[in-house]
């Protein structure tokens, strides 16, 4: 398998071609240091077989403080040393990520102006940065060199310069953000070259990598795939040992690691072009890669290595399972971006909906510790919470059976195309663990001594609107089964359909997309799918809705449904208006199913309807408490 072969990086050799790339974790402290939580997080991937660990990007200069717990290189010596020692013990190479966010940063923490090539406002905050003076440029270049020295003295095997997303280096290279008329604008690669030269001088023979945006998705002024091979060749000549091909710009942050709407391997074409232009060094593919796609890319010479970051957040043993020929046992990344993308107003810690222990390695117990008292366990409900409860309980030595009233496992998650791989993985794991599954079980008979765990999910909540006789109101799950799976016909095949979405989440948006120009999406927010901002899908989702011809009723509350129309109320003015339709799909809030008698514990949506993350985590906790 090509992914498992050693790879030469400059004068060093990585044990395999799998990279765990740099990403925001929020595992740092208020002094901007790497912490024991970082060490445990990276060590877990090293122990899982990963060949190359690139740490979270550290700001090389105090002018850069892009998020609250962003590491600062001058404070990272001890943290880098701990990470390097821990990962080296398992055979992994450790590369220190070096960064400066430039105009894509924030002044909220530093209370100082942003530094950037030109006065291009930050897209989200609309903050106008300072035009960097000669002294500022010299200080940042020196900062890269100093950070390199600190990282290598701490025991890291090399450094990686970020010229990808949220990067000052990329901002100098791009016509989108570099409008200068001096030498730094006349030669837009000059700043990157100066940084590389300074880093190479400080690194000596150690590894120097480059994370390079090869498509800014803004061809009117940005870096294009056609330009990328030439740019890469010029920069590599300054002393680079490997290149990671990424994409995205100040105007397309969400495209750096898109969600499940975009197929794996979206950067492979430009990656192959760059590889052809920089003969003699390693080129890494990046872009929602799974194991089959990555292996194919290496076999077909699109790349020499593969950055698989979200895949290793989802399963820290990703690489070891490949080595053990257990690819079917790799927990899939469903590319939901719900908890691994943490740069938002909540300021959360990185984790994974499928494996909540990711990011919490120092906090969580050993879920698989064998129970000193094996018990007979009945899990009521075979959704995600029930499957995870059964999986962990069986692994701990309990005798487990799942009782599910429907004809399939997985609950609501099984209906969602992107979540289905995780459901199927859970089903296989439960089967391998010897769990007995009873489907179509409408009556539950528990034997004496059996412990009962309720995981029965949620039910439709009360409707906050009046429904007149003859009106057609369809539950969101019935509509989903019809639209996506062809099961039933709960609403007419022609005519306008109103989707009432007080949540602002992905379900109503996906339904509206599928229904197309028949759909009217009613939202109380200023924009459809408001909650998608946290996953990076807000702008793309609204683009898709527009392309499909979906009409959006904003700032609207649904007050009543009659045969042939609905009455909406503007949430600000109180003005009411009617919209004609043949049916309403209620995408509103759900409530827990009623508590059942003789249950010992509950987990998932029957406690409070939430997401896959909480279902998995509470299933684990229930299994541990048996």
Provide the pLDDT for residue 361. 98
Provide the pLDDT for residue 279. 87
Provide the pLDDT for residue 443. 76
Provide the pLDDT for residue 479. 97
Ordered mean pLDDT values, 10 residues apiece, the chain (626 residues) = 98 98 97 98 98 98 97 98 98 98 95 97 91 98 98 98 97 97 98 98 98 97 97 98 96 89 95 96 97 98 98 98 97 97 90 98 96 96 98 98 96 96 98 97 81 96 96 97 95 97 96 97 97 92 97 98 97 97 97 93 97 98 96
Provide the pLDDT for residue 597. 86
Taking the C-alpha atoms of residue 396 and residue 220, their distance in angstroms, rounded to an integer, is 58
Provide the pLDDT for residue 439. 97
Provide the pLDDT for residue 414. 96
CA angle, residues 595, 600, 602, in degrees to nearest 5: 55
Parallel, antiparallel, or unpaired for β 399-403 and 583-586? unpaired
Provide the pLDDT for residue 125. 86
Angular region, 49: left φ>0, alpha ψ -120 to 50, beta rest: left
Provide the pLDDT for residue 599. 92
Taking the C-alpha atoms of residue 535 and residue 545, their distance in angstroms, rounded to an integer, is 17
Which CATH number among 3.40.50.300, 3.40.50.720, 3.90.480.10, 3.30.70.3270 corresponds to the domain 376-448+609-624? 3.40.50.720
Taking the C-alpha atoms of residue 599 and residue 151, their distance in angstroms, rounded to an integer, is 54
CATH for 462-588 is 3.50.50.60
Q: Which residue has the tokens 């109503």?
A: 508
Q: Which residue has the tokens 């010229």?
A: 163
Parallel, antiparallel, or unpaired for β 52-54 and 376-380? unpaired
Residue 562, Cβ density class (10 Å: 0-12 exposed, 13-18 middle, ≥19 buried) = middle
SS3 563: coil
CA separation, residue 573 to residues 257, 303, 392, 522, 539 (Å): 39, 57, 52, 16, 27
Parallel, antiparallel, or unpaired for β 565-570 and 458-460? unpaired
SS3 392: helix
Provide the pLDDT for residue 442. 79
* Residue 360 dihedral angles phi and psi, to the nearest 5°: -125, 30
> What b/e string do you get for 35-73 counting C-beta neighbours within 10 Å, with b at 16 or more?
bbbbbbbbbbbbbbbbbbbbbbbbbbbebbbbbebbbbb
CATH for 2-329 is 3.20.20.70
CA separation, residue 518 to residues 488, 507, 525, 550 (Å): 18, 17, 21, 7
Contact 372, 349 (CB under 8 A): no
Q: Which residue has the tokens 């009543």?
A: 560
- Sorted by sequence, the CB contacts under 8 Å of residue 136 that are 6+ apart come out as 63, 115, 130
Question: Domain-by-domain residue ranges, the chain?
Answer: 2-329, 376-448+609-624, 462-588
Provide the pLDDT for residue 210. 98
Provide the pLDDT for residue 60. 98
Provide the pLDDT for residue 456. 97
């Amino acid at each position: 398998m090509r992914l498992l072969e050693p790879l030469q990086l400059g004068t060093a050799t990585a044990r395999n071609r799998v990279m765990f790339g740099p990403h925001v974790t929020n595992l740092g402290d208020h002094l901007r240091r790497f912490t024991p939580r970082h060490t445990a997080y990276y060590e877990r991937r090293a122990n899982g077989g990963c060949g190359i660990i690139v740490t979270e990007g550290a700001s090389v200069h105090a002018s850069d403080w892009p998020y609250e717990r962003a590491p600062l290189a001058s404070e990272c010596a001890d943290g880098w040393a701990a990470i390097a020692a821990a990962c080296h013990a398992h055979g992994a190479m450790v590369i220190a990520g070096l960064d400066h966010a430039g105009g894509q940063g924030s002044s909220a923490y530093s209370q100082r102006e942003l530094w950037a090539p030109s006065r291009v406002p930050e897209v989200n905050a609309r903050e106008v940065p300072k035009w960097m003076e000669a002294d500022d440029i010299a200080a940042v270049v020196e900062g890269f060199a100093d950070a390199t020295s600190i990282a290598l003295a701490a025991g890291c095997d090399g450094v990686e310069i970020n010229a990808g997303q949220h990067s000052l280096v990329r901002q100098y290279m791009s016509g989108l953000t570099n409008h200068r008329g001096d030498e730094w604008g006349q030669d837009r690669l000059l700043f990157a070259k100066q940084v590389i030269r300074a880093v190479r001088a400080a690194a000596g023979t150690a590894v120097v990598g480059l994370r390079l945006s090869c498509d800014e998705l803004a061809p009117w002024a940005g870096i294009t795939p056609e330009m990328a091979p030439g740019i890469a060749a010029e920069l590599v000549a300054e002393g680079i040992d490997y290149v990671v091909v990424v994409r995205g710009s100040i105007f397309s942050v969400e495209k750096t690691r898109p969600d499940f709407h975009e197929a794996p391997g979206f950067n492979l074409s430009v990656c192959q072009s760059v590889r052809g232009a920089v003969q003699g060094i390693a080129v890494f593919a990046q872009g929602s890669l799974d194991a089959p796609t990555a292996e194919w890319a290496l076999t077909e010479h699109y790349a020499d290595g593969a950055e698989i970051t979200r895949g290793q957040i989802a399963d820290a043993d990703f690489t070891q399972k490949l080595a053990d020929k257990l690819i079917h046992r790799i927990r899939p990344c469903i590319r939901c971006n719900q908890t691994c993308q943490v740069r938002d107003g909540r300021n959360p810690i990185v984790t994974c909906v499928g494996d909540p222990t990711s990011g919490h390695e120092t906090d969580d117990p050993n879920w698989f510790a064998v129970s000193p008292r094996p018990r007979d366990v009945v899990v009521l409900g075979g959704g995600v919470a029930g499957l995870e409860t059964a999986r962990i309980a069986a692994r701990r030595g309990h005798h487990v059976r799942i009782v599910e009233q429907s004809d399939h496992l997985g609950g609501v998650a099984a209906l969602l195309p992107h979540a289905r791989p995780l459901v199927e993985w859970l089903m296989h794991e439960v089967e391998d663990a010897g769990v007995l599954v009873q489907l179509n079980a409408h009556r539950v008979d528990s034997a004496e001594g059996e412990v009962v765990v309720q995981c029965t999910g949620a039910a439709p909540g009360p409707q906050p609107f009046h429904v007149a006789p003859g009106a057609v109101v369809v539950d969101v799950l019935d509509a989903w089964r019809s639209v996506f799976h062809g099961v039933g016909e709960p609403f007419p095949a022609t005519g306008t359909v109103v989707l009432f979405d007080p949540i602002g989440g992905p379900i109503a948006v996906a339904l509206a997309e599928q229904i197309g120009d028949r759909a009217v999406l009613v939202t109380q927010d200023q924009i459809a799918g408001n909650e998608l901002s946290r996953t990076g899908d807000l702008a793309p989702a609204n683009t898709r809705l527009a392309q499909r011809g979906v009409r959006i009723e904003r700032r609207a509350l649904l007050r009543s449904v009659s045969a042939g129309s609905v009455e909406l109320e503007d949430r600000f003015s109180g003005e009411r208006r009617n919209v004609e339709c043949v049916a309403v799909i209620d995408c509103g809030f759900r409530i827990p199913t009623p508590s059942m008698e003789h249950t010992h514990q509950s987990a998932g949506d029957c406690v409070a309807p939430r997401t896959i993350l909480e279902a998995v985590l509470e299933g684990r906790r229930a299994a541990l408490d048996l």
